[in-house]
Each structure stands twice: as C-alpha cells, then as structure tokens.
Amino acid sequence: MLVDILRSTLPMAGSDVARDWDAFYAFLTWTSTIFFVGVVAAMVIFTIKYRHRAGHKADTEVHGNVPLEIVWTVIPTILVMVVFVWGYALYRDMVTAPGDSVEIKAIGKQWLWQFQYDDGRSYTNKVFVPVNRPVKFIITSEDVLHSFFVPNMRVKKDAVPGRYTTVWFEATAEGAHIVYCAEYCGTQHSGMLATVYAVSPEIWRRFIQGREIDENKLASGAADEVTMSAAATESKGGAERPISLIDQGRGLVASKGCVACHSVDGKQGIGPSLKGIHGAGVDFANGDHLEARDLNYLREAIEFPNARLVKGYGPMMPTFRGMVSETELTAMLEYIKSLK
C-alpha cells in the first residue's frame, strides 16, 4: 500500500529487483517523512506557543537535556544502520549476476550505444533480451565516460574507457525499456538513448536461431509477425551470416600473431597457454596471487603485458595497446574465454 502511493513517482518496475528497490524506496520515503513532519511540527508548535508577546519571557535556564540528546543520537544511529544493511543487501542483489546470464556487450561512444551478441550480430541503440532470464551487460566505452542506465530495471553503471564494468537484470515485463546515458558526455548526451526490448521466450528462441526481430511489431506479440522469416532475414542484409564473436576472435588471435607464443591447446610455449585461463587462478612472478583471471585482467595482459608477469615467464611480450580496437578486443577475449 505504502509502495503504491509512491508508484507515480517511479518508472514502471520491470524486474523483481526493481520491485525490491521500490519497497526500499518506500521505506526510506516514509521514514524520512515521519522525521520531517516531526521536525516541522515541533517548529510550528513552538512558533505558536512561544511567540513573542506582551508578558511572555524566555526560560533561559533550558540549555540541554542529556537523556533527550542521547535518545536523538542513538535512534538515528540505529535507523541509518538499518538503512545501510538493507541498502547493501539490495545492492548485492543488484550487482551479482547469476551464472547462467545471457551475455551482451555494450559499448558506449559519443553518442550512441552499440550492442554486440556472441553470434556476431550487433545493433545500434537497440538490444533484444529475453524475459524471465538474467541478462548481463559487459560495458565499456570507446571515448569518454558514459553511464548505462535502465530506469525500469533500477540499474546503472558507468562505461569507463579502458576497462569493463557489468550490469545485470532479469526483465519480468515484456516490452520496450528506455536506456539513458547518465554520465555527461558532451553535446548529444541527452540524445544518447537506446531501447531494451524484452521479448517472449518464443521470440527469443527464434532470435538466437538467427532471425531478425522487427521491434515495431513487438506490440502485436505474435511470434510469427515479430520475427522475420529466415528468408526475409537473409534478404535484409542477413545474406552474409555474421561471424560469431568467437570465430572473429579466433581469427584475430591468429592474425595478430598471439599464437606464436601462446598455444590454444594447453601446450607449453614462450608465453602461457590461453587454454582455460579465464576464470582460473594464477601466481605471478612477484609472488602475488590472483584468485580468478577476469576480463579486466586479460585486457590488462594484452595492453600492459608486463604489468603482472605470470610466474615462470619473462617480460617478452610487446604491448598491443592501440593496435586492437575495442570491438576486436571484445572478440579476442570472447575467444579466449571459450578455450575451456
């Protein structure tokens, strides 16, 4: 009930986490309201009661009240701790993507969002996701800071050039959800809009089989109308099936000469083999240990190869900074990830 009153001040809740968020927001709003009304009411009552008038004098003896001061220190302390714990628990849910999430790459650039699927298809300012399945976006930027913000899902994360950040949500509502850029990025900052289309499982199934979606027909809901036939997909630029990210990455890892030193099958080489390194732990030459090598580590290993040398290897590798584009890097990392 208390949440419902606030509904009009919030965008539609497009996921379960968004609904949890709304409950927390309602708690904060109503607790704050009680405090605020209390303070203002006291002010108003004192204003009326102790206004200056003939014969009225101030009681100059009142200058403190220790028990009262303790109470109004302790109660807010307890309350903000409740807020902190609840806020942190909610935050954990908001940032911890389930392992089986659908992964989509999002690259921000002045002034558009580009979305890339593992099968190589990429879209500008629109992205299709399935409902009732967690979707994780791996975000970066090609130029300045941007921020990937989906109000309906209550999630937001900065796109930082030179590193990867992630955002996830599980849409429960089908339909279009607007994406804003929330970090100021220049002239067209407010025009850097995209749309998340959350589609039914049936449409999603057809989409991942390679069919294109006509987002303008999504409202009708019928899978046959929304997804183009295989033939229509072919004729609409789909004639050349896009090369999947893994295949693109395989090609790049070969053509950039990585394989000269790094095997892809686990064989010992001049450098560590790429097989199975994503997610695995590693010891470094300087004695440090990393629990799991993530995308940011692999990225660093390509751009700053000698920053953290793997134990047993020398500083031989040249940097590939500036020699691979953001999209090439995405593909290469996707390929390395696939070498299990």
Q: Is 274 helix (H, G, I), strand (E, B) or coil?
A: coil
The CB-of-4 to another protein minimum distance in angstroms stands at 15
Pick 180 or 204: Cβ nearer another protein: 180
Q: For 118-152, b where at least 16 C-beta lie within 10 A, e where not — what string?
A: bbbbbbeeebbbbbeebbbbbbbbeebebbbbbbb
The residue among 51 and 267 lying less far from another protein, judged by its C-beta, is: 51
Residue 43 or 222 having the CB closest to another protein? 43
Q: Which of 147, 150, 151 is nearest to 127 (CA)?
A: 150
Rounded CA separation 188/190 (Å): 5
| Closer of 35 and 257 to another protein (Cβ) | 35
In this complex, which beta carbon is closest to another protein, that of residue 99 or of residue 318? 318
Is 62 or 239 the residue whose CB approaches another protein more closely?
62
Shortest approach of another protein to residue 34 CB, angstroms? 10
Would you say the C-alpha torsion 34, 38, 40, 41 has a positive or negative sign? positive
Strand ranges across the sheet with 102-109: 122-124, 112-116, 102-109, 135-141, 165-169
Cα–Cα separations (whole angstroms), residue 37 to 4, 33, 45, 50, 78: 21, 6, 12, 19, 19
- CB nearer to another protein: give 53 or 267: 53
| 45 versus 254: smaller Cβ distance to another protein | 45
- Closer Cβ to another protein, 254 or 316, answer by number: 316
Give the contacts of 10 (CB within 8 A, at least 6 positions apart): 22, 25
- At a CB cut-off of 8 Å and minimum separation 6, what does 103 contact? 118, 135, 136, 137, 138
For β-strands 126-130 and 194-199, DSSP reports them as parallel
Tokens of residue 177, six digits: 């959800």
Nearest Cα neighbor of 179 from 154, 144, 201, 160 is 154
What distance in Å separates the CA atoms of residue 302 and residue 291, rounded to the nearest whole number? 19
d(CA 159, CA 147): 5
Closest contact distance (angstroms) between CB of 324 and another protein is 13
Instruction: Tell me how far, at minimum, the Cβ of 281 lies from another protein, in Å.
Output: 19
Q: Three-class SS of residue 58?
A: coil
Residue type, 130: P
How far apart are CB 272 and another protein at their closest, in Å?
Answer: 15
